Amino acid sequence: MSEHDKKSSSGLDGLLENPFGGENTNHITGQDNKPERLFDTLTKENQEKALNLKKQIDPENYQSITEYGTEAQSKLHEFSHSMLEHVQKNDTGEIGSILEDLMKKLEEVNPNELKPEKRGVLSRMFGKISNSINEMLSRYQKTGAQIDRISVKLDNYKSALTKDNDLLQQVFDKNKEYFDALNIYIAAGEVKREELETELIPDLKQKAEQSGSQMDVQEVNDMMQFAERLDKRVHDLKLSRQLTTQSAPQIRLIQNTNQALVEKIQSSILTAIPLWKNQIAIALTLIRQRHAMEAQKQVSQTTNDLLLKNSEMLKTNSTETAKENERGLVDIETLKQTQENLLTTIEETITIQTEGREKRHQAEKELMNMEDELKTKLLEFK
């Protein structure tokens, strides 16, 4: 027998050891094996327990029916109350709000904002785009820190839900013990009822018919009333057993809901959040690479433009220098023009000299005339 079976058997024995909630009484009677009875569905061990319980149902004890199975029903009531308290305390609504908060935080940083935009001016690209990326990175880091705090809360809830499921498993096992115990109580009651109807009551009727005593007749009536009350008591126990039957799927439903939340939380912590962080990190890396590529492109373009301009300048300078090297120190045309200018200058000089000479001769004549005229006037004055 496994450790679990031992514990289950021990718990079951505890529920069966005091069927009347008071002192046990023994009343040994026979047993009748009848097919299709609950008793026949029990294991050999539980059948023996049912027979022991049947022996304790004493028709002479008026309170035996009232107290029969009350111990198990009382424990079942306590169990149902504790399960209700557990369900009330186990409020999973906050987990839903935390998961919604997580989704909002994940949506705050939109990767579409990191898509490339057309930028024409180099300063604008290195200025505003750089600032935009820094703002995006700052916002991502802030949101990432908030998500990390949410992850801690979710992890705590995950641990709490796992513990709850372990506790609910214990509750489920305890519920099964109640179910098995009630089956044994019911089987014992049914066997006892069968014994009353097939053995005790017929014997008492025969005795009353033979004796004709009113007391014997009363004893028959009392036994029939006892059988009827036992039947009602067994019915009550069947209702209690139905509660345990309904509790089992309810417990499993709570466990399944808890497990679904645990898996959802685990998926969020281990999959959604890391994936989101990876995608944002990749997007930021790619856009930085794109900006670096744009910068390199601008540098390359500037270098090419500079090389092209320098080559054009070199071509111009080289051509002009070559032309100057092929020219003489003085161009022929310049010499011709200089020669013409010189000849013209000489001719003009000769002309000017001739005219000057003639003007001087004329002036000399005029001076001589003026001198003669002056002498004449002076002579006349004397």
Looking at the domain assignment, is residue 334 inside a domain? no
Q: What percent of the chain has pLDDT over 90?
A: 6
Q: Are residues 145 and 167 in the same domain?
A: yes
3-state helix, strand, coil in the chain (%, to 5): 85, 0, 15
User: What is the distance of C-alpha 37 from the center of its chain?
Assistant: 55
The pLDDT score that the predictor gives to residue 114 is 56
| Most confidently predicted of 125-129, 133-137, 145-149, 224-228 | 224-228
Looking at the domain assignment, is residue 3 inside a domain? no
pLDDT tens, position by position, 183-210: 998 999 999 999 989 998 899 899 888 9
What is the mean predicted confidence (pLDDT) over 57-79? Answer: 78
* Torsion angle defined by CA atoms of residues 297, 301, 307 and 309, in that order, rounded to the nearest 10 degrees: -170
Q: Are 193 and 230 in contact (CB under 8 A)?
A: yes
Q: Are 183 and 46 in contact (CB under 8 A)?
A: yes
Q: Are residues 83 and 134 in the same domain?
A: yes
Q: Are 190 and 32 in contact (CB under 8 A)?
A: no
Looking at the domain assignment, is residue 1 inside a domain? no
Q: Are residues 79 and 221 in the same domain?
A: yes
pLDDT tens, position by position, 339-374: 888 888 888 888 888 888 888 888 888 888 888 888
Q: Are 147 and 273 in contact (CB under 8 A)?
A: yes
Mean pLDDT lowest among 80-84, 261-265, 301-305: 80-84
- Quickly state the pLDDT bin for 224 (edges 50, 70, 90): very high
Looking at the domain assignment, is residue 243 inside a domain? yes
Q: Which helix (H) or strand (E) holds 12?
A: helix 3-16
Q: Are residues 260 and 154 in the same domain?
A: yes
Name the average pLDDT for the chain: 76
What is the mean predicted confidence (pLDDT) over 175-180? Answer: 86
pLDDT tens, position by position, 282-291: 767 776 777 7
The pLDDT score that the predictor gives to residue 232 is 92
Q: Are residues 235 and 345 in the same domain?
A: no
What is the mean predicted confidence (pLDDT) over 30-43? Answer: 68
Mean pLDDT lowest among 46-60, 88-102, 167-181: 88-102
The pLDDT score that the predictor gives to residue 109 is 60
d(CA 200, CA 153): 67
Looking at the domain assignment, is residue 335 inside a domain? no
Q: What percent of the chain has pLDDT over 70?
A: 74
What is the mean predicted confidence (pLDDT) over 322-351? Answer: 77
Q: Are residues 371 and 261 in the same domain?
A: no
| Most confidently predicted of 66-75, 186-195, 320-329 | 186-195
Is pLDDT at 281 greater than 50 in this prediction? Answer: yes
Q: What is the DSSP string of 235-268?
A: HHHHHHHHHHHHHHHHHHHHHHHHHHHHHHHHHI
Is pLDDT at 84 greater than 50 in this prediction? Answer: yes
The pLDDT score that the predictor gives to residue 9 is 55
Distances (CA, A) of 342 to 2, 60, 117, 328, 330: 139, 170, 74, 21, 16
Q: Are 80 and 90 in contact (CB under 8 A)?
A: no
Count of alpha carbons within 13 angstroms of residue 187, beta-carbon side:
28
Q: Are residues 355 and 217 in the same domain?
A: no
Q: Are residues 53 and 173 in the same domain?
A: yes
Number of domains into which the chain is organized: 2
d(CA 38, CA 233): 16
The pLDDT score that the predictor gives to residue 86 is 66
Q: Are residues 313 and 345 in the same domain?
A: no
Domain span including residue 162 = 11-328
Q: Are residues 363 and 280 in the same domain?
A: no
